Chain A
Amino acid sequence: MLETNRYQRQILFTPIGETGQEKLSRSHVLIVGTGALGSSSAEALARAGVGHLTLIDRDYVEESNLQRQQLFSEEDMRQKTPKAIAAKQRLSQVNSHIHIDAIVGDAEIDLLRQIAPKVDLIIDATDNFETRLLLNDTAQKYQKPWIYGAVVASYGVTFTVLPDKTPCLQCLAEYIPNNGATCDSVGIIQPVVQKVVSQQVTEALKLLTGNEAALSGKLIAFDLWENQHTEIEVASLRKADCPSCSEKRSYPNLAYDARLKTAVLCGRNTVQLRPQRKKTDLAEVAKELQKNNQIKLFQNPYLLSFEVDSFRVVLFQDGRVLIHGTMDQLEAKTIYHRYLG
């Protein structure tokens, strides 16, 4: 039974109506990344009454997030709460009638393979193309629509990928930048996040309520500061021999050798290490580290953090480690082996 008053204004909107609202309540959306784009998308979909949200994020809340990542508070920053957990806490206050799964971890092949078949739609709120290509092939494999969104400075871009209908990200691979041009080194203003999310969430509402005919079908880009808005019809860029979405598909982005064991987190002076072993007993590790009285430890139920030399090391339950203070993968590995085994 719907709480009719809660969604009344949305039900009054004819293209959605009672039927659309009922569909939303039965929908399951995966949001990959709970930073700026993911926070905003998740809040919009939770308020709209999407019945089941799954959030994946590998990071925790830091001070520099608060300017634009709308679900997080200063308290989340002080507690170094993982973003997926902090997001779920806030969203549960916003709408206690929906189901939210929060996953603190990397959106890697095995995890996506478990979740993707169960969802109706995937929203891209990641900050890198490695994960987007993984999402792309996962979405093609399980025939799920996904909505690309990205932001930098005052510029945003978005495109809805429909299996067997539109070009996929692999079709457009030649346009993916392969250098630091995507770094947040040039900063970001918050309204561009909202504008990309407006597009993504509206497309999501159309798809989830059975209004596919209303989809944009275009690649949309805008620069809010430069007062530019562009829409391009990209249907002609769909490749007949695309390895991800054509009849000859082999899903190159799902090959295991495409998985990175170390990754530089763009613009954050941070390297992530993902060791083979999965779960970590944080209490055990903390006990070892405390033997070294040079090390100041911080701990919450999800992670362990300490500073050493000019580095800050953060260890998560799933075994991942972030080394802040370097972009050198070898240096990061050295620190890792020195303190964590």
Chain B
Amino acid sequence: MKITVNGNGLEVQEDIKHIKGLIDFLGLEDKPLIVEHNQQILQKEAHEKAVLESGDKVEIVHFVGGG
């Protein structure tokens, strides 16, 4: 299925069914992330419940410290 992550198109396997699966797929599981799914910010507990569908828009942001 095709989704958009941070503005770029991304083809993901059908076995990635929810936001948590996407975060694991992107290798970001250990980072504290602000995740927006179709313009709705998700709390971490909701990542496993938020079902991904074709055409979804996901924004993922993490804080960094450098300056």
Contacts and interface: CB of A to CB of B under 8 A. Distances in A.
Contacts of A126: 67
A221 B6 CA distance: 9
Interface string B23-48: 00000000111101001010000000
A181 interface: yes
B7 A182 contact: no
Contact of B67 (A149, A175, A176): A149
By CB atoms of chain B within 10 A, which of A219, A223, A237 has the most? A219
Interface residues of B, number: 19
A183 B39 CA distance: 30
B21 to A, nearest CB: 20
A36 B64 CA distance: 15
Contacts of A234: 34, 41
Contacts of A228: 6-8
Nearest to B66: A152
Contacts, number: 93
Contacts of A188: 66
B65 A152 contact: yes
A38 B62 CA distance: 21
Contacts of B36: 232-233
A128 interface: yes
A150 B66 contact: yes
A155 interface: yes
A221 B67 contact: no
B44 to A, nearest CB: 8
B35 to A, nearest CB: 9
A191 B44 CA distance: 32
B61 A157 contact: yes
A53 interface: no
A137 interface: no
Nearest to B60: A230
A124 B66 CA distance: 11
A151 interface: yes
A72 B44 CA distance: 43
Given A157-B61, A232-B59, A232-B61, 5 more contacts: A125-B67, A155-B64, A157-B62, A177-B62, A237-B41
Interface of B: 6-8, 31-34, 36, 39, 41, 59-67
4 A-B pairs with least C-beta separation: A182-B65, A127-B67, A228-B6, A152-B66
